[in-house]
Amino acid sequence: MAEKKNLLQRLAEGQIWTSIFRGGGVPKSRRQRMMVVLNSVFLHLHPVRLPKHAVKLKFTWCMGGLSFFIFLILTISGILLMFYYRPTIEYAYTDIIDLAEQVPFGIMREIHRWGAHAMVITVWLHMFRVFMTGSYKPPREFNWAIGVVLLLLTLLLSFTGYLLPWDQLAIWAIAVGSNMARATPFLGHEGPGAALLAIGDINFVTVASDVRFALIGGRFLGEATLLRFYVLHCIGLPFVIMIFMAVHFWRIRKDGGISTPV
């Protein structure tokens, strides 16, 4: 006699459920449970099985996971801010005020700002933990290098976001920051070796053709700078950091999962 099935079981074996979740039915064995995780694009990002030590907070501090979690918060809050913020000299500053004073849940802008600070802190602590536990050693040395790139991209995201409020703090911070680019070897017009890239009296690396110019879109900070930083902050750098994050997470698994305490 066939066992009477309850509603949930019938749903789980129905066409709708099985067409969305591959494998079908209620997982009954260890293997089926594993297949459910492996067959879901979201679940498969996490390992099917973890060694006990890998979930010990004392060992991992969960700083890598927290960094990613904060990145998600920043992505969502950042997209929300884009609905109100206009990257022009005329509107940028007042739109930030508008976001804080008038738009419902003005704390959204603060969430984005606090999140940015928090992510820099968690990324540093994550690197500190990885260093102190020796988790950068082979076979994980390449993933450490990826991590250094991710740190750099995190800092660049902070740097580009810094300008967007277009207040005195923002402008002078970027004035100082972009002036450092003048001294880039070969590529900055005041840097060592820049004078070598010349034919006779014609310099190729000038104030209007060096790496600082490419960064700020002009010889002085202005409208072009704000727009460039906005595009880099909202599209360019997030795109690059997501590619590097994908490689970073994939390599954790391929290099044998979270390293073991000694």
Partner 1 sequence: MPEATEKKTATIAPSSPPPAALGKADDGSGVTRRSFFSWISIGWLAFVTATGGFFTMMLRFFFPNVLFEPIQTFRAGSPDEYQAGEVDLRWKGKFGVWIVRDDEGIYALSTVCTHLGCTPNWLAAEQKFKCPCHGSGFRKTGINFEGPAPRPLERYRIVLADDGQIIVDKTKKYQQEKGQWGDPEAFLKV
Cα 64 from Cα 233, distance rounded (Å) = 22
Q: 164 and 232 in contact (C-beta within 8 Å)?
A: no
Under the binding rule (CB under 8 A), the answer on residue 224 touching partner 1 is yes
Judged by beta carbon, residue 34 or residue 197, the one nearer partner 1 is 197
Under the binding rule (CB under 8 A), the answer on residue 204 touching partner 1 is no
Cα 52 from Cα 200, distance rounded (Å) = 68
Cα 60 from Cα 205, distance rounded (Å) = 47
Under the binding rule (CB under 8 A), the answer on residue 214 touching partner 1 is yes
Judged by beta carbon, residue 214 or residue 243, the one nearer partner 1 is 214
Judged by beta carbon, residue 72 or residue 208, the one nearer partner 1 is 208
| Window contacting partner 1 (CB under 8 A); options: 54-62, 207-215, 242-250, 253-261 | 207-215
Closest among 129, 128, 161 to 228, alpha carbons compared: 161
Judged by beta carbon, residue 40 or residue 179, the one nearer partner 1 is 179
Rounded to the nearest whole angstrom, what is the least distance from the CB of residue 189 to partner 1 in the complex?
A: 13
Binding track, positions 142-181, relative to partner 1; x by CB under 8 A = ------------------------------x--xx--xx-
Of 128, 204, 220, 239, the one binding partner 1 by CB under 8 A: 220
Q: 151 and 252 in contact (C-beta within 8 Å)?
A: no
Q: State the DSSP H helix or E strand holding residue 198, giving kind and residue range, or none if neither.
A: strand 198-199
Under DSSP, is residue 202 helix (H, G, I), strand (E, B) or coil? strand
Which residue bears the tokens 């972009």? 178
Task: Catalog residues that contact partner 1 under the rule CB under 8 A.
Answer: 172, 175-176, 179-180, 208-209, 213-214, 217-220, 222-224
